[in-house]
Structure 1
Amino acid sequence: MSQAPTDTLDLSRCADEPIRTPGSIQPHGFLLTLGSALQVLQASANLADWTGVAARDVVGLPLAAVVGEAAMERIAAEIAATELIARPSYIGTVTTANGAHFDVLAHAWDGVTILEFEGVNRRRAADFRNLYPLVGDFLVKVNQAATIPALSDLAARRVREVSGYGRVLVYQFDADGHGRVLAESKEDGYDSYLGQHFPASDVPAQARALYTLSPIRVIQDANYTPAPLVPELNPVTGARNDLSFAALRSVSPVHLQYMRNMGTLASMSVSLVVKGKLWGLISCHNAAPCPVPVDKRTACEQLGQILALCIESREDASELQFRLEVRRIMVEMLGRLTKGADFLENMSAVFPELLRFARAGGVAIVVDDRVLTYGDTPDETQIRALADWLSLHGGHSDIYHTDHLKDAYAPGADLVRNASGLLALPISRIHQHYLLWFRPEVVQTIEWAGNPHGKQASPSDPAQLTPRLSFQAWRETIHGRSLPWHVAEIELTVEFRSALLGIALERAEQMAELAEELGRANKELEAFSYSVSHDLRAPLRHIVGFSDLLLEPGGAEDPERRQRFLKNIKESARLAGKLVDDLLSFSQMGRAALRPTMVDMNELVAACIDKLGMEMQGRNVDWHIEPLPSVWADPSFLHLALLNLLSNAVKFTGGRDPAVITITSEEDEDFIVFHVADNGAGFNMEYVHKLFGVFQRLHRMEDFQGTGIGLANVRRIVERHNGRVWAASKQGEGATFSFSIPKHPSH
């Protein structure tokens, strides 16, 4: 049962190996697959070594023909009494007709019942009695261990005691898939890997997925000769058997060579699964072949599950403490930001808190032509260039973060010292306004168990790659990276942005009141003021009215009635806020400076459609988009105009299945014209002159939700680009909205 080492294993194919369907098993036992009547469908080729009966001779026979009548009856009784699942269950120890003893594992998978027989030297059943005091003692001691490395050290020592292996490691996978050894327990004479890293390639992605599903894997002797299944294909599926959960499953020849190169002839791996993801492994090594019976494997698996639960608990507690501290800083900042009227002055007053909030080395605010900095930051020219890059690649609504800026932004190579890490928070939907946090470079020295970048060529075939031969400590220095951004920092930064916008909306409401007073100067502003007050008054009346009903005697006694009133109040308040928000956007549209550049309209349309994903959820929308030319325009403003037109097309085709939306273009000597056509509700052309006015609607608000500002924004944006906008429709048959942009920019 020996397998000679080979130098012709191709490591480049390792990630594609059929590890779930190897077609064979390890030979320290034999395997049978059974049909519903317990007839043998397949047997491993080493069956004769264990029972004296050839595998090819038992296919189609009842189980008793292989193991004997007594063993068959016991197995049949256990299968009948046990609900077999994908994970193998120990169903007892049997003695076959030739007098050999076997521990039997059974599971149902791949359309068959899979029985695995592992040879043992005892007639009695496996003894699980020692499992309970072991687990109980471990639970007592893990409660005394405060840190995850301390927990891991305790688990490593206990697993080595139970398994008898010479070295046990506990290692954790990082975000890139590399493993770091947190704890180690070993006998004298074994190399130490404590604190070292193993590259992600040592455990390919498909192996990680299998470790997540199947929590334990044992290789008793790395020099084994695999025993193939007879016949090779599963008669039920017509394909190779899926042995994902089989304890005897044969493993990759590449991995066996890897073990031999490491000086390991026996291994056992116990998965550490935390919140459904593979967090790490308990990896056991032995220099000589080493069997681990089912009772000891079960004990090790239980210890691994307890360790995973303890890790989850410690990580959750640490995460909660971190979030509370970051939130406390955020609340402190927001309290100070609401006191003054000047936004920049308020923000600069909380610069120290901003640094602590993001654990940053420097912070900058970019607002129009002003750049304010605090701490260790790039210079103003570099910050402006970075903001320009963010406006094209990061957008105005999404938070951008990286801990290796130079890899995404080429000029970032000059910013490594103080800006290897960047967290960018857009603080305006239409302007190039950013709050930027910078983290300095943190030079890391990682000690690997062997060179992770070296490619070991096969001596017999240099074109092939073989498992690495060396596991000697190899140090690597990592440059150009900062501390990674914590997921809680990202999430709380999103919250912080919402809070900042809330403060801005409060200022916008004050400005809206002032605008209403000044708006009485002429007829246009009078009509504008009337529309604003009309649209705002309705939700405010709802708020006052339902509040009065709640305050009436008995108004709050009926819980269902109270909930209905509160829901109406909340919806009315949300609508009022949305009206003010859109009004602020419309107001800003006339004042903000244009920053024109060449805009690829195909990319812009794709970005808008992607952003409309939620609105189209569950809808059948058929997009027809012709190739579109590029134009000279402000990308942020044009994005907002196009988004409004496409959003309207999606909204007003709500009753169509499919909704058909077409985007085309044409050009003449002076202008490029874009058309957005749909097959929606359309409108009455008698009122087309009202279509692009503020708060003007040609449909009932109950039929189509909206604030009536979107098309006014479109007109203002297009006119600021010296173009024009118009529309045509036939009611009930759709509408076409068109706008023109000059081909030659005016200077």
Structure 2
Amino acid sequence: MSDTQTEENLSSSIVPSQSPGTAACESEPIHIPGSIQPHGALLVVDPVSGRVVQAAVGPGCADAVAPDPVGCSLAEALVPDSAPLVRNLQSRLPAAGVVHLGLLRSGSTVHHMLAHRSDGAVLIELERARSAEPGSFDEVYPQVREFLDRVQRVADIDELTALSSREIRRITGLDRVLVYRFDPDWNGEVVAEDRNDRLPSYLGLHFPAADIPAQARELYRINRLRLIADASYTPSPIHPPVNPLTGRPIDLAFSVLRSVSPVHLEYMRNMGTGASMSISLLRGDRLWGLISCHNRDPATVPYHVRTACDFIGQVLSLQLVAQEASAVADRRNALRSIQNRLLARMAGAEHYVEGLVSNPGDLLALAAAEGAAVVTGGRITRVGATPSDDEVQRLVSWMAARQRLDVVATDSLAAAMPGGETIKDQASGVLAISVSQIHDSYVIWFRPEVVRTVTWGGDPRLHAETSADGTRLHPRTSFANWQETVRLRSRPWQAPEIDAVSELRTAIVDIVLRKAEETAALSEQLTTINKELEAFSYSVSHDLRAPFRHIVGYAQLLKKYEGDKLSERGNRYIDTIVESAISAGTLVDDLLGFSQMGRSTITPVTLDMTALVADLRRRMEADTHGRNVEWRIAPLPATRADPIMLRLAMQNLIENALKFSRHRDPAVIEIGAVETAEETIYHVRDNGAGFDMAYVGKLFGVFQRLHRVEEFEGTGIGLANVKRIAERHGGRVWAEGRVNVGATFFFALPKR
């Protein structure tokens, strides 16, 4: 029978909200159960006095232990044949883990004697041996060696886990052996199975993380093998319940006889399992998965067979880690080749974005993505299957509003970002790198939604429930297939892909920094050159003023005293010399003023702009005598600026308006201003000759003219002066115009 559910979000169903029962499972102190399984005996020995301080004796070992061992020496607590086994005990115990001391014989029965350290005490465990079981590991080794021979020829993880499940079932004789792998959220999946017909198949089924709580996973990590011989056993209690050496229950984390949670025993019985054995599979010090062995009826697995299974588990762990590491290394090498090509293109491009998107295939292949977007400087460049520019910008705003991370990776954008489900077809999965800690600059990769069906071994939402009287927990009773359709998730991003884009981020930052350093060095060089040019122009302009004045003065004297001796042509030549020298002198004066503008110190004061413009208008009345000029001057807001520089700027703009509107009747000169939160923008508008906006970029350059000198006089430096004054105040200038309609010049100054 199969239950089916469709969910919009995987996390809402696979990871259900924690119920009181689940919370109780998570907090259960399973390492200090206060009892053992009844097929053995436990003696807790004070290492200083050598006496037994706690004991638990199951029915299977009553003939090997004294009736009341607490308070006895270890030799007194055990049958006489134990003396050779416990001689020099302290020196034989490892710092961690269990050691096999040997076989203890008591009449016709034989017991394995094991020992380990815990809570400052020595724990001695007896486990009754079966008559036909292997007497040593050597008897099991031929079967292990056969496994070792075969495992060397397997290069696939699926084959490796299948081989391990077959071999362990063969040497244990149990009904079913599963290899169970954990995912990042600790949900498990059965990836291999070997069984007979006594128990059902669980191959391919998933089980929720709550089935193996965190404290149980920790015990699996530190103690690799656990046996439960009978799911219906009655535990043998430890007496006294509190260890007198510590004042608390004895820690049985490494005990082979440790009693298990009643909830887990009920869970086993609900599965139809009478006995189980688990072998941990580790990746380094982290739990990778389990080899889980089940038998329908109660069963014991002899100690040396368990040792062989533990050995197989360690070999399998090493092989799994090696093969995963090899696959990851191959993937990293492939991505590094792609990365090198991207770096070469970025290094050779004017801007890194050009190199990054010049070969879209490599950009997408670096993260195995369907689409990508590069966001920098307010510009979005998209390749492949991506959301729209507006959606990309919304994603960028969401990432920037959170704590700015170097790398962001999610395979469920819908679960992370409000409204993320609207772009599921292109971006259910997002992998992004932040290129700047200041600006919203990102490289983003996208993966579409992949709809898949997950089959669970029972409804994962029904883990454990509290009984009606609230005294205990009960696990779920059904393990029938329960299917779930998972939506709004992409293929997960793998570690090599995340590492590759992280390395790309580092490279981009290095490139940007290198470009910034080159730009800064160039800017510094240009600043030095500009200062030298300013000094040169100042010196030349200053030195040329006197010669030009001498030329004008001596030419005028020549005409005054010797003019009657010259021909008409000679007098005309003198007039031309005077006009040209005056024009050149004016140019030199303007150049001198321009160079001084970059060298002068700014002394800002609060200026009444209405009064300043009124004064300039009065001073220009002589130049407008006989002309029909209509002035439209609005009240102007005050500003803070250098008074000499700002007066010169406004004078240049007003003179410019009067000059280019001289052929209009009336000439309309409009002066006004608007204020924003950040700046005050003044404008001077005329109805004169205007200009073609195609050439607006030339207006504020030195010696740049849009009209012939025969039409309108001037040196071409006035507007350049206006631009320099605005920039020295942190402001800006621009212009708008239409030919034969007029022009408007804007002069903006910041309020701060």
Question: What TM-score, normalized by structure 1, do the two folds share?
Answer: 0.66
Whole-Å Cα distance in 1 between the matches of residues 370 and 238 of structure 2? Answer: 62
Match of 2:51 among 34, 39, 44: 39
Q: Helix, strand or coil: the match of 2:445?
A: strand
Change (3 A) 1:494 1:460: closer
Deviation at 1:353, TM superposition (A): 1.0
Q: Is the 8 A contact 1:11 1:464 kept in 2?
A: no
Structure 2 partner of 1:402: 410
Residue 155 of structure 1 aligns with an amino acid whose one-letter code is S
Structure 2 partner of 1:152: 161
Deviation at 1:347, TM superposition (A): 2.8
Q: Is the 8 A contact 1:165 1:286 kept in 2?
A: yes
Match of 2:479 among 451, 455, 471: 471
Whole-Å Cα distance in 2 between the matches of residues 261 and 126 of structure 1? Answer: 35
Deviation at 1:47, TM superposition (A): 6.7
Paired residues for 1:101-500 under 5 Å:
101-122=110-131, 126-395=135-404, 398-454=406-462, 457=465, 460-461=468-469, 466-500=474-508
Deviation at 1:499, TM superposition (A): 1.4
Where in structure 2 are there 5+ consecutive unaligned residues?
Answer: 1-19, 536-676, 678-728, 732-749
Structure 2 partner of 1:66: 77
Structure 1 partner of 2:35: 24
Residue 267 of structure 2 aligns with an amino acid whose one-letter code is Y
Whole-Å Cα distance in 2 between the matches of residues 116 and 525 of structure 1? Answer: 94
Q: Helix, strand or coil: the match of 1:264?
A: coil
Change (3 A) 1:303 1:455: closer
Q: Helix, strand or coil: the match of 2:357?
A: helix
Which deviates more, 436-445 or 249-258? 436-445
Deviation at 1:108, TM superposition (A): 1.6
Q: Is the 8 A contact 1:93 1:123 kept in 2?
A: no
Q: Is the 8 A contact 2:94 2:116 kept in 1?
A: yes
Q: Is the 8 A contact 1:442 1:481 kept in 2?
A: yes
Deviation at 1:411, TM superposition (A): 1.9
Paired residues for 1:497-536 under 5 Å:
497-520=505-528
Change (3 A) 1:63 1:428: closer
Change (3 A) 1:298 1:447: same
Whole-Å Cα distance in 2 between the matches of residues 205 and 409 of structure 1? Answer: 29
Whole-Å Cα distance in 1 between the matches of residues 132 and 476 of structure 2? Answer: 43
Change (3 A) 1:236 1:455: closer
Q: Is the 8 A contact 2:111 2:127 kept in 1?
A: yes
Deviation at 1:524, TM superposition (A): 12
Whole-Å Cα distance in 2 between the matches of residues 124 and 306 of structure 1? Answer: 23
Change (3 A) 1:81 1:501: closer
Whole-Å Cα distance in 1 between the matches of residues 150 and 118 of structure 2? Answer: 38
Deviation at 1:10, TM superposition (A): 5.3
Whole-Å Cα distance in 2 between the matches of residues 228 and 720 of structure 1? Answer: 85
Deviation at 1:182, TM superposition (A): 1.0
Structure 1 position 13 matched with structure 2 position 21: no
Q: Helix, strand or coil: the match of 2:391?
A: helix
Change (3 A) 1:363 1:456: same
Match of 1:51 among 53, 56, 63: 63
Between structure 1 and structure 2, the one with the greater Rg is 2
Change (3 A) 1:12 1:339: closer
Match of 2:102 among 85, 88, 92: 92
Whole-Å Cα distance in 2 between the matches of residues 386 and 315 of structure 1? Answer: 34
Residue 499 of structure 1 aligns with an amino acid whose one-letter code is A
Deviation at 1:457, TM superposition (A): 4.6
Change (3 A) 1:74 1:462: closer
Q: Helix, strand or coil: the match of 1:58?
A: coil
Whole-Å Cα distance in 2 between the matches of residues 112 and 249 of structure 1? Answer: 16
Please give the root-mean-square deviation of Cα atoms over the aligned residues, in Å. Answer: 2.9
Whole-Å Cα distance in 1 between the matches of residues 427 and 287 of structure 2? Answer: 32
Q: Helix, strand or coil: the match of 1:259?
A: helix
Whole-Å Cα distance in 1 between the matches of residues 235 and 28 of structure 2? Answer: 16
Change (3 A) 1:88 1:517: closer
Deviation at 1:513, TM superposition (A): 3.5
Residue 34 of structure 2 aligns with an amino acid whose one-letter code is G
Deviation at 1:221, TM superposition (A): 0.3
Deviations 1:384-424 (A, max 9, x none): 111112112142x6111111111111021211111011111
Percent of residue pairs bearing the same amino acid type: 41
Change (3 A) 1:66 1:507: closer
Whole-Å Cα distance in 2 between the matches of residues 139 and 525 of structure 1? Answer: 82
Whole-Å Cα distance in 2 between the matches of residues 443 and 507 of structure 1? Answer: 44
Residue 84 of structure 2 aligns with an amino acid whose one-letter code is R
Q: Helix, strand or coil: the match of 1:358?
A: coil
Residue 488 of structure 1 aligns with an amino acid whose one-letter code is P
Q: Is the 8 A contact 2:100 2:113 kept in 1?
A: yes
Q: Is the 8 A contact 2:125 2:257 kept in 1?
A: yes
Whole-Å Cα distance in 1 between the matches of residues 127 and 108 of structure 2? Answer: 14
Deviation at 1:110, TM superposition (A): 1.3
Change (3 A) 1:508 1:48: closer
Whole-Å Cα distance in 2 between the matches of residues 314 and 77 of structure 1? Answer: 44
Q: Helix, strand or coil: the match of 1:230?
A: coil
Deviation at 1:215, TM superposition (A): 0.4
Residue 363 of structure 1 aligns with an amino acid whose one-letter code is A
Q: Helix, strand or coil: the match of 1:338?
A: helix
Q: Is the 8 A contact 2:114 2:125 kept in 1?
A: yes
Deviation at 1:455, TM superposition (A): 5.1
Q: Is the 8 A contact 1:405 1:422 kept in 2?
A: yes
Change (3 A) 1:62 1:372: same
Structure 1 position 77 matched with structure 2 position 87: yes
Residue 403 of structure 1 aligns with an amino acid whose one-letter code is D
Whole-Å Cα distance in 1 between the matches of residues 154 and 160 of structure 2? Answer: 6
Q: Is the 8 A contact 1:51 1:66 kept in 2?
A: no
Whole-Å Cα distance in 2 between the matches of residues 228 and 257 of structure 1? Answer: 19
Change (3 A) 1:473 1:520: same
Change (3 A) 1:52 1:114: closer
Whole-Å Cα distance in 2 between the matches of residues 347 and 40 of structure 1? Answer: 73
Residue 21 of structure 1 aligns with an amino acid whose one-letter code is I
Q: Is the 8 A contact 1:32 1:44 kept in 2?
A: yes
Change (3 A) 1:83 1:522: same
Whole-Å Cα distance in 1 between the matches of residues 533 and 289 of structure 2? Answer: 66
Deviations 1:148-204 (A, max 9, x none): 111111110111111121000001100010111111000123200111111111110
Residue 451 of structure 1 aligns with an amino acid whose one-letter code is D
Change (3 A) 1:469 1:525: farther
Q: Is the 8 A contact 1:103 1:125 kept in 2?
A: no
Where in structure 1 are there 5+ consecutive unaligned residues?
Answer: 1-8, 528-669, 671-718, 722-744
